[in-house]
Structure 1
Amino acid sequence: MVRVEGRGSGAVPHATGALRRVFGSAWFIGLLATLATAVGSGVPSYWNDEAATLRLARLPVADMLAFVQEKDAVHVVYALLVHGWIAVFGESEVAVRAPSAIAVGVATAGVVVLVRELGQPRAAVVAAVVFVVLPRTSFNGTEARSYALTTALVTWAAVWALRAGRNRGAGRWTVFAVLTGLAAATFVYALLLVPAFVALALLHGRVDRRRLVALAVAVAAAVVIAAPVLVTAASQGSQVGWLAHQPVNAWTVLVEPFAEQAWWLAALLTTIVVVVGARRARRPWVAHRRTVLALALWLLLPGAVLVLGSLLVTPVYTPRYLSMSTPAAAVVVGLAVAGVRRTVAWVLLAAVVLAAAPALVTMRTPLGKPAGTDLRGIARTLQHEARPGDGFLLADGGTVSLRPRVALAAYPDAFAGLDDVAYRGSYRTTGSYSDRLVGTAALRDRLRSEQRVWLVVPDAGDRELRDALRATGFAPAHREHVAGAEITLWTR
């Protein structure tokens, strides 16, 4: 008997294998990470830091480059990216935060590739999921700031450090140098990860003179790439004076950099690493001690340097500066979980996701950003209720992140057709993100020509502005409240 096989025999297994390759690819996983991060990203109002990003990014490139000579040189790379982005996609919260969500996806793909190239394929997806659900990752991915981009750059710099060290070739070292240089230009403290990159580059093979020279040249090239930003930023140290008010304690060093306020998640992750990792300490951890060293440098060195610097020299630490270490934290958890049975691994991963869920949901609420002031609520109230030609006064004193005037920077279109009574000159000339405002006497003179003025003050109030209105014949006619601010219409 002759067996006749149809032309399709073997096609199903081939198709199944192709699907596995697609759905298991690092970039497909990264795409899922971007989509998951972007969900709900448009719900929270902008906050002060994002308003600063927008004010810098809106400037013409020549003006931007002039501005950063005085302030925020460390943000110029990201601002240039956002400048081009908003020219195409606009300034909605979803659009402006989208590059950060994309960066999370790119970083996630890098985590998958890195773990697989470290010879731990079982840990790759676990590490990727842990990375995506870390509250710090999710916060960065839903914020118009540079931290997600920095994280993506350092993750891929780590991948290419490993590749360059494993396979000699100028091309790999060049990619590593460019990625490291861009990371440092985007966030200067990314240079603290160079020792971790060195450890990865020397992870495989013999440490010979040729490899050391190539590594040294690549690191030097990275510094040269970042040099314009590094040199300019060195003269702007006074702009981070606010770091003097940042607490440095066990919470801000061990919990907040990775888990934000979700201490229970930090406790769970620590337990997984300690308990599960201890079970496999005799074999994988010891057998891969070079890998452990590289991850330890990535995870611990930046925090150690910044904390010690703050305690012994000058304040340089805030928890979000350790965003660049989140991939290492995820990889450590992934390697620990990979050593247990598959069923147990899935249970542990599900527990991590569930533990992270409350924080991920909270940061996607209207007041999910720091400070708790609803800048969008302020802008919308005036946009919908003010009449063309009405004046407005937005309090601009006290803690920067609580100032109602930040709403004008975040949502300028909402104030179109209204009179900015206190305005004297643009922030472009102040060396800061605050406009020049008139003094009390000049303000009262201007108020005498107004008939209706909208006053927005923080919950703590602003007696000086109220006194100016009363002194020029105004009385409150209508009052509303949004989170963090009181909005009052004053009329004659």
Structure 2
Amino acid sequence: MSISPALDTAGASPRAHRASPEPPASRPAGRTGRAAVGLAPAGLALALGLWGIRRENSMWRDESTTYQVAHRGVADIWHLLGQADVVHGLYYLLMHGVFALWDGGLVALRLPSVLAMAAAAAGVGLLGQRLAGTRAGLAAGLVFPLFPVVQRYAQEGRSYALVCAVVVWATHLLLSAVARPRKRTWTGYAVVAALACLLHEFAILAVAAHGVALYRARVPAALGWAWGQAAAAAGFVLAPLVIVSQQQVALVGWISPPGTSQLLGFGVPALAGVLCARAPGPARGPIALGDLALPLLILPPAVLIAVSYLHPLYVDRYVIYVYVGLALLVGARLERLLRTSPAPRTAAAALAVVAAAALLPYSAQLRTPQSRIDDTMAAARAVRELSRPGDGVLFMPARRREPIMSSPGDFRGLEELALAERPVPSGTLHGIELPAPRIRIRMLTARRIVTVNDSPGQPLDDTPQENVKRGVLKKYFQRCAVRDVTGMRIVLYGRPGSC
């Protein structure tokens, strides 16, 4: 059976034909070595993810949202998505299934992210093997789970680790489709890329980075056209999500234009990646490692940062898959350095010790409640300790209702003075509050009120409801007790003589 000329031309590139022989240090290992390239990084990522997974029984506000939304019924989740958080809709449905199978609290909330990041680490190792050899792949795979940002989101009850894993395996399908073009492989790539985009819409920037990689590799036009069709299919699937999410854009109104810290957070890894790519190794296929890794590292955050000066959207966790590109570049560079070392095993051991010593303090801090901006569980415990049955409770502002939604038992016996309609029947994240005059009337019937507030120094919401809460407390109540927890302040107020 003959292969058609068009298919043969599409399956290779001039660069692939000119690829240099692989140096002895990078020659493929046996079956055990190839398995280790995926298993060792996955094992390291899994160990780091399980270490302190409960984070001292703490939960921050975004995880609290995941927890309470995932515990709603499917129809209730669907109702919510029409009004808020549609960008996380597929993830909420997935977590609903997780909790339906096993309602394991904080462990069940975070375990999918741990497993996803382990799958991503395995995929990074295997990507490095395909692009630069076994040792480079092993180094990349082991570097990836050590990045602090990867460790952080491996233990987050949010979608970002899953997006990262799906992007990694979409990249594998891209390499397979370029190396051996077949309709089913390109279809698989389109399906997996679309899945990544449905988990978070900014994964489309990884698909764009794949296109830049093909351009840099100078692949034949037939392959570029095939990628374009797959990318268009993923974009078509994503389009309804983008349309609805644009109607909910007020939910990301808290994002500010990029500042110095955001620019450094992008620039330092990008510069490190460029420096690592300056001494490229021999290409092992149609796409060289640098051609793939640099666009994946640089393009997504660069695009978001540029857009954010007009419409702020850049948050580093939205594109954490860029660290896949950095890990590939660092891994390949480490392999080349160790290969030229007179004692490579000693040098590798020394590097491991230095990395562990440098990362251990920050890694330990990541597994404490103070590593996140707030702790809804600690706030709920403080409310329980300061209040007694019959007291009123207020959330100031109303969006600070996360503690009661993630730990309702700690609020048992308290009366919500401002709530008109609860989150589930209203199809909202935090419920709907009464008009300001009604809130005032209900507050004046209470003898004691416990309030859940932002931490001091945060801007105050200038709404009629929030203004009346502050006004009544100041005029008719006195402060009885204050309890500060991570990111929140709990205050008990009482009528004179009621503290």
Residues 69 and 287 of structure 1: is their aligned pair in 2 closer, same or farther, counting only changes over 3 Å? closer
Aligned to 2:206: 193
Alignment: residue pair count? 451
Q: Deviations over 1:263-318 (max 9, x none)?
A: xxx68x966973x765x45x54899984312211111111221122223x422222
Residues 435 and 367 of structure 1: is their aligned pair in 2 closer, same or farther, counting only changes over 3 Å? same
- Give the 5 Å matches for 1:238-317: 238-243=250-255, 245-249=256-260, 251-255=261-265, 274=275, 280=279, 284=282, 290-311=288-309, 313-317=310-314
Superposed displacement of residue 470, structure 1: 6.9
Residues 28 and 477 of structure 1: is their aligned pair in 2 closer, same or farther, counting only changes over 3 Å? same
Separation of aligned partners in 2, 1:198 and 1:360: 35
Q: Deviations over 1:341-371 (max 9, x none)?
A: 223344334433432322222121122112x
Superposed displacement of residue 380, structure 1: 1.4
Separation of aligned partners in 1, 2:454 and 2:230: 50
Q: Deviations over 1:428-481 (max 9, x none)?
A: 576752322234542343245445433333443999646535766x55555444
- Give the 5 Å matches for 1:106-125: 106-125=119-138
Residues 412 and 449 of structure 1: is their aligned pair in 2 closer, same or farther, counting only changes over 3 Å? same
Superposed displacement of residue 37, structure 1: 1.5
Match of 1:407 among 403, 416, 422: 403
Residues 476 and 59 of structure 1: is their aligned pair in 2 closer, same or farther, counting only changes over 3 Å? same
- Give the 5 Å matches for 1:18-167: 24=36, 26-27=38-39, 29-43=41-55, 45-90=58-103, 92-167=105-180
| One-letter amino acid matched to 1:381 | A
Aligned to 1:9: none
Separation of aligned partners in 1, 2:286 and 2:225: 25
Segment drifting more, 221-230 vs 331-340: 221-230
Superposed displacement of residue 132, structure 1: 0.6
Superposed displacement of residue 136, structure 1: 1.1
Residues 171 and 46 of structure 1: is their aligned pair in 2 closer, same or farther, counting only changes over 3 Å? same
| One-letter amino acid matched to 1:333 | V
Residues 218 and 458 of structure 1: is their aligned pair in 2 closer, same or farther, counting only changes over 3 Å? closer
**SS of residue in 1 equivalent to 2:325:** helix
Q: Deviations over 1:322-348 (max 9, x none)?
A: 312011111111011010122334433
Residues 123 and 21 of structure 1: is their aligned pair in 2 closer, same or farther, counting only changes over 3 Å? closer
Structure 1 vs Structure 2: percent identity of aligned residues?
Answer: 28
Task: Compute the TM-score of the two structures, normalised by the length of structure 2.
Answer: 0.79
* Unmatched tracts of structure 2, length 5 or more: 1-29, 339-343, 461-466
Q: Does the aligned pair in 1 maintain the 2:452–2:491 contact within 8 Å?
A: yes
Separation of aligned partners in 2, 1:447 and 1:382: 18
Q: Determine whether 1:460 maps to 2:472.
A: no
Separation of aligned partners in 2, 1:170 and 1:109: 26
Q: Determine whether 1:340 maps to 2:341.
A: no
Superposed displacement of residue 119, structure 1: 3.5
Q: Determine whether 1:320 maps to 2:317.
A: yes
Q: Does the aligned pair in 1 maintain the 2:214–2:287 contact within 8 Å?
A: no
| One-letter amino acid matched to 2:84 | K
Match of 2:421 among 417, 425, 428: 425
| One-letter amino acid matched to 2:298 | L
Superposed displacement of residue 152, structure 1: 0.7
Separation of aligned partners in 1, 2:59 and 2:284: 47
Q: C-alpha root-mean-square deviation of aligned residues, in Å?
A: 3.4
Segment drifting more, 99-108 vs 171-180: 171-180
Aligned to 1:8: none
Residues 479 and 240 of structure 1: is their aligned pair in 2 closer, same or farther, counting only changes over 3 Å? closer
Q: Deviations over 1:31-70 (max 9, x none)?
A: 4312312211211622222223234323322222232222
Separation of aligned partners in 2, 1:477 and 1:123: 62
Separation of aligned partners in 1, 2:247 and 2:375: 34
| One-letter amino acid matched to 2:295 | L
Q: Does the aligned pair in 2 maintain the 1:181–1:223 contact within 8 Å?
A: yes
**SS of residue in 2 equivalent to 1:110:** helix
Q: Does the aligned pair in 2 maintain the 1:166–1:204 contact within 8 Å?
A: no
- Give the 5 Å matches for 1:412-491: 412-428=408-424, 432-460=428-456, 465=469, 468-469=472-473, 476-483=479-486, 484-488=488-492, 490=494
Task: Compute the TM-score of the two structures, normalised by the length of structure 1.
Answer: 0.80
* Unmatched tracts of structure 1, length 5 or more: 1-16, 259-265
Superposed displacement of residue 106, structure 1: 1.1
